[in-house]
């Protein structure tokens, strides 16, 4: 369905920002020739060739997306957090995982996963081995979530307020927590909005649309084929 979105609705926009966990797993840019990945890369390329400016920041699953992927797709890899200034408004974009400080096991993994030496050592392994490692990491993560009342850790409130302060009280947009919502924060007496993105599934996706005046959720449904 994302491919339909990329070929359809997304083309009405001038810019598209993807805030991480775009892929369930990414084991290295050499895996671009995998059939599933190649189709997505080609679709991104077609959209960017048609004039859509696409930017992407890393999530915790696709942290290995690199320059090879970006060049092939015609997209721009941006840092997390990323300040997005439009003529009318300022936003700060992030995957969101960096503020989930209460999940100490995850934060330890995150630090490791973002370490360039660790990444290089992983990328040096054969593809089949990396694929097995990714599957194993997924299993460990799912096993850790089972049995928990709420399997998803939310952002740590104090750290989030500090983050909003550090980023000039810009409207904060992130994903990761699987809890789509719009939150109102009062930081130093200033009202700041925090928008949490929804997950994408085969049957339904969602994006936030900025039209220069308001930010709105837009539900994306699969196109019916005649």
For Mn ion, the binding residues (CB under 5 A) are: 21, 59-60, 176
Q: Give the burial class of 82: count Cβ atoms within 10 A of its Cβ; 0-12 exposed, 13-18 middle, 19 or more buried.
A: middle
Q: How far is the CB of 206 from Mn ion (least distance, A)?
A: 16
| Cα dihedral across residues 159, 163, 165, 169: positive or negative | negative
CB nearer to Mn ion: pick between 59 and 81: 59
CB nearer to Mn ion: pick between 110 and 125: 110
Q: Which residues contact residue 4 at a Cβ distance below 8 angstroms, ignoring those fewer than 6 apart?
A: 222, 223
Tell me the residue number closest to Mn ion, measured at CB: 176
- Distance between CA 100 and CA 152 in Å, rounded? 9
Q: How far is the CB of 95 from Mn ion (least distance, A)?
A: 6
CB nearer to Mn ion: pick between 28 and 59: 59
Q: Are the C-beta atoms of residues 19 and 94 closer than 8 Å to each other?
A: yes
Q: How far is the CB of 117 from Mn ion (least distance, A)?
A: 23
Q: How far is the CB of 17 from Mn ion (least distance, A)?
A: 15
CB nearer to Mn ion: pick between 21 and 31: 21
Q: Are the C-beta atoms of residues 177 and 98 closer than 8 Å to each other?
A: no
């Amino acid at each position: 369905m994302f491919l339909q979105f990329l070929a359809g609705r997304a083309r009405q926009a001038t810019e598209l920002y993807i805030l991480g966990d775009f892929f369930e797993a990414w084991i290295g840019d050499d895996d671009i020739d995998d059939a599933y990945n190649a189709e997505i890369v080609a679709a991104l390329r077609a959209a960017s060739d048609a004039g859509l400016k696409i930017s992407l920041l890393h999530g915790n699953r696709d942290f290995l997306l690199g320059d090879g992927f970006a060049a092939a797709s015609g997209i721009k890899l941006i840092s997390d957090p990323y300040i997005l200034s439009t003529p009318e408004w300022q936003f700060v974009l992030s995957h969101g995982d960096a503020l989930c400080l209460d999940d100490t096991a995850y934060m330890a993994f995150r630090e490791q996963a973002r370490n360039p030496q660790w990444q290089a050592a992983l990328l040096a392994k054969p593809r089949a081995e990396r694929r097995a490692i990714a599957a194993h990491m997924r299993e460990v993560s799912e096993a850790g979530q089972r049995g928990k009342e709420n399997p998803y850790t939310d952002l740590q409130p104090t750290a989030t307020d500090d983050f909003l302060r550090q980023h000039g009280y810009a409207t904060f947009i992130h994903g990761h927590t699987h809890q789509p919502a719009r939150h109102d924060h009062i930081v130093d007496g200033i009202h700041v909005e925090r928008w949490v993105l929804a997950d994408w599934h085969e049957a339904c996706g969602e994006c936030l649309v900025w039209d220069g005046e308001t930010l709105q959720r837009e539900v994306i449904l699969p196109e019916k084929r005649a």
